[in-house]
Structure 1
């Protein structure tokens, strides 16, 4: 505590930057609920407090977490140079993150999982779809955070680069969804999206692990690319190539890790046939753990 007081005394401006960052962050986090209600044309108080809709609660929790993750990439503190620059940066990147996260949710609904109406299923308490919705926005936010850190400065060109990096992430997430869906359909004879509609919670948890770990591997790929606006498209092409390589590496490593962690257990049967949520959670944690190790190795 004494060290903290000494630090604050030595750098009084730190408190000002902290106040700016926290006020903007809390306002944007609070705005998530009202944004969701406005876009979805839903009475959020009714869903959360009167109907006790846990599926909607999970969906909103994912959006709040996603906003926090993305905003953490916008905080620069004293490096901003002035309070005004820090405020401008937090607001600019904060609203950009909000737009990209919501746009990512739309892309996921329309291109990754187009076979059902997400809003209607969540309102009808489909917890599996609520989990997937939360995971998809968190995955998008992870890459948005990486892109905010990757770009330099605040200008129109910066936000073009940010949007381009977001497009890369959405392509990767749609690809991993198609692969996941193909594998599930091959083994079970019904589509993955049908299983989600039928409230297959264990499968939703497993898929969430794939989404989040894929986003983390895309983030790890950004460590290899230096931001240069003059060669943006070359940098993004390199990001795509490295992302694919890391996604393949992630798939191989997580397969081996899951096999060892769950030795002697038929994972396909437990998760897909018996809807074993415990096994699915172990798979999710294993996927995220390997992705974290990859990120640490590449940074």
Structure 2
């Protein structure tokens, strides 16, 4: 057995070098994300995390790091490049692009989805609810970016266009999902604002929202199983992604609604989560939303 292991190792020595390089770049980029988060919030991350004990900032940074990790799995997935140099360039390029898109995604989310509150200031002030919402948005964006990275191949202009276009689709879907949830919340709570509830620190609502946006992202990724990547038909494929993403989001929402009614039978979700801020029930809602989206996406694959 030892001889076999040595033979396999010898045959795959180049592969081991590629893996070591990928891991080194990944860890370096994950480390950079903490400091990028500090720069974008104009704070010292060490002071904020260790001296101020700002839990909201920690949750936000954790979401960004997890999001970048998800993106990097998309960059690593697949065959190794033709040379070590190309592997380094490809991994670094995808990683840096992913880092930038996650930060841009946060800006888009702030400006268009949650446009009535200043997430950065609330996170600096220690609002855990906003920290959860921010982390969820970053993770949802990363899920779609990863799907696009796995969908495309090569490192060229067409690949870059496809990745950025996929990012735009993901942001459009998250904005639509947020608007729908705002309408639902207002309808169930005499016209109250979901964003104002976040601002007041209602953690249960943030947990539920996290499940909703992450499940939306998972629904959008299912499109990658039905549209083949081709630079010649890129526009048509991306339009198909958007349309299919909307249909999948609606399907996930319908199935999640049914599953919640069955699993949480006898529990008034509006009363428990919206009014009594029941974190336990909200956590179950989040789990159901993500579970249904993952199961449906798995079936589509």
Give the TM-score category using the shorter length: over 0.9
Give the deviation of 1:267 after TM superposition: 1.1
Alignment partner, residue 275 of structure 1: 277
Structure 2 CA distance for partners of 1:276 and 1:21, relative to 1, 3 Å = same
Alignment partner, residue 252 of structure 2: 250
Alignment partner, residue 23 of structure 2: 22
- Give the distance between the partners of 1:94 and 1:147, measured in 2 at CA: 13
Alignment partner, residue 61 of structure 1: 62
Give the deviation of 1:6 after TM superposition: 5.4
Structure 2 CA distance for partners of 1:78 and 1:9, relative to 1, 3 Å = farther
Give the deviation of 1:261 after TM superposition: 1.1
User: RMSD of the alignment, in Å?
Assistant: 1.4
Give the deviation of 1:281 after TM superposition: 0.5
Alignment partner, residue 180 of structure 1: 181
The answer to whether the Cα contact below 8 Å between 2:78 and 2:150 also exists between their aligned partners in 1 is no
Q: What is the TM-score normalised by the length of structure 1?
A: 0.97
Question: Which sits farther off after the overlay, 199-208 or 223-232?
Answer: 223-232
The answer to whether the Cα contact below 8 Å between 2:77 and 2:150 also exists between their aligned partners in 1 is no
Q: C-alpha deviations, 1:35-85, integer Å up to 9, x for none? A: 111122111111100011111000000000000000000015753122111
Question: Which sits farther off after the overlay, 232-241 or 193-202?
Answer: 232-241
Alignment partner, residue 35 of structure 1: 36
Alignment partner, residue 146 of structure 1: 147
Q: How does 1:39-54 map to 2 (within 5 A)?
A: 39-54=40-55
Per the alignment, in what secondary structure is the counterpart of residue 116 of structure 2?
coil
Structure 2 segments unaligned to the other structure (5+ residues): none
The answer to whether the Cα contact below 8 Å between 1:129 and 1:197 also exists between their aligned partners in 2 is yes
- Give the distance between the partners of 1:228 and 1:152, measured in 2 at CA: 9
Q: C-alpha deviations, 1:240-291, integer Å up to 9, x for none? A: 1111111111001111111111111111110001000000001101111111
Q: C-alpha deviations, 1:148-189, integer Å up to 9, x for none? A: 111121012210111011101100000000000011011112
Identify the match of residue 266 of structure 1 among 237, 256, 268: 268
- Give the distance between the partners of 1:153 and 1:236, measured in 2 at CA: 18
- Give the distance between the partners of 1:83 and 1:125, measured in 2 at CA: 44
Structure 1 segments unaligned to the other structure (5+ residues): none
